[in-house]
Structure 1
């Protein structure tokens, strides 16, 4: 049950809004939302939601609202490691009892490590101040419990292999990538493989991002740096639209996430001013 919150205005009874089980959608199929999202990778577009049951008459009576359309349901997904917030909203009809599927979409390449999700009943439009009733748009009337969803566990965001680098003739770095693609529209998951050096302590730490978030963030930045190094020779002077889940689309999303630049701009900076490229990449760590 959500913790009690004291508001400077009248709020509905908690029983007038029931927050049902949380869920996520994959391939058009709705499943219960687990503690760790299965199969998540950097190219994933995720939809997370909760089903809400409302007694609109009780809500209007408690708040003094004339119409349920003055209210709105809002779902917030916060990604604290990257400082991102994603918001979904749903309107409320005048039916005495209503069930609403409330959801939010998490775009590809814009979240990492974990999400904290919560749902809220809020005032949709401003009202008249005074009389102890809510009047500011966005005022929260009731809120669900918060849910924390892990995006990354021991698995990587794309195919990986932990191997001793000494056994395969590689320098003793913590990690590297193996890239094999003919075109930037080739599948990212089928073209890129992350090699983790099981002999290196930093690699072992990065495999547990919950316990070692700094190492996991360093891994993501290094993977981005290596991907730009690999794709830079193939980047045209003009921006292109790449196919969904392709090498080009994933690296484009990463360039926007870490540098707030297009892939064309990032590749150009990598070629022409590599030291600035390095500084900007590492300035994005735990930003």
Structure 2
């Protein structure tokens, strides 16, 4: 379901946003779509260059030249359900304005899928605007979203250790991921990873997730791949899930959409559904490849 705006929006080329990058030991590097080494002690330091045609954006939005516009970056984390404004700057009424977006995010507020939304918004309209122009402060004239899967060895969902003998799950299974059905419910409250206490190798690997041995890493890699598989399966089999719906930030639907985007950026939802049904073995192998199953640390 695409969103219709009740006001004029300028063409997308009024903002030219460069790639996101992050601080590295030898300078900066492009920010990947997945950070397998991420943990809660990580401070994410990111930046991107942006060029804004502030005058043209106003003219093609039907706004007066003295209307006040902002360029803002907002962040949202799926597993913590936290969100906030990371950066903001006013956009002057001239074309070719260069802005350097740069900020840090503390790892203890993040987890799961991190979404960075860069938006050009109206701060204040002024007299002389077109009747079809945006009038409310905060109206979005342009936006761009970048999603990052924070997939470190630590578990990113609520975890419980239980004896599967007492639960309706196979007694010898290592784990089970419970995933809710309500796509608009908070992701953090919709997902629970159950680890079978009878499988000591799994319980020990989870306990050592902060500094795992090579053996622990192999177990955690298998668990991580299977968790991602379960989330993808939920998205593909949920009859109400669609990839063109804008689910609430922090919701189960938003998490499933972000997992699909980061795992299979080149595949559409229906193509994935067809392959899962017609070529299940290939589809399973594709998930293993996308999640780097059992890769050397």
TM norm structure 1: 0.52
Q: CA separation in 2, counterparts of 1:12 and 1:203?
A: 45
Show the 5 A alignment for 1:67-82: 67=66, 70-82=68-80
Residue 6 of structure 1 and its aligned partner are, at CA, apart by: 3.6
Residue 43 to residue 130, structure 1, CA distance change in 2 (3 Å): same
Residue 85 of structure 1 and its aligned partner are, at CA, apart by: 1.4
Show the 5 A alignment for 1:9-88: 9-26=7-24, 29-37=27-35, 39-63=37-61, 64-67=63-66, 70-88=68-86
Report if aligned partners of 1:51, 1:102 keep a CA contact under 8 Å in 2. yes
SS at match of 1:21: coil
Q: CA separation in 2, counterparts of 1:156 and 1:201?
A: 12
Report if aligned partners of 2:69, 2:92 keep a CA contact under 8 Å in 1. no
* Unmatched 5+ stretches in structure 1: 158-170, 180-188, 214-287
TM norm structure 2: 0.51
Equivalent of 1:210, from 218, 228, 236? 228
Report if aligned partners of 2:154, 2:206 keep a CA contact under 8 Å in 1. no
Matched length: 186
Residue 141 of structure 1 and its aligned partner are, at CA, apart by: 0.3
Residue 49 to residue 212, structure 1, CA distance change in 2 (3 Å): farther
* Unmatched 5+ stretches in structure 2: 156-198, 232-297
Structure 1 partner of 2:203:
175
Structure 2 partner of 1:218:
none
Q: CA separation in 2, counterparts of 1:75 and 1:45?
A: 17
Show the 5 A alignment for 1:1-287: 6-26=4-24, 29-37=27-35, 39-63=37-61, 64-67=63-66, 70-88=68-86, 89-125=88-124, 127=126, 131-144=131-144, 146-152=145-151, 155-156=153-154, 172=200, 174-176=202-204, 193-194=211-212, 204-206=222-224, 209-211=227-229
Report if aligned partners of 1:176, 1:196 keep a CA contact under 8 Å in 2. no
Residue 109 of structure 1 and its aligned partner are, at CA, apart by: 0.9
Q: CA separation in 1, counterparts of 2:37 and 2:14?
A: 36
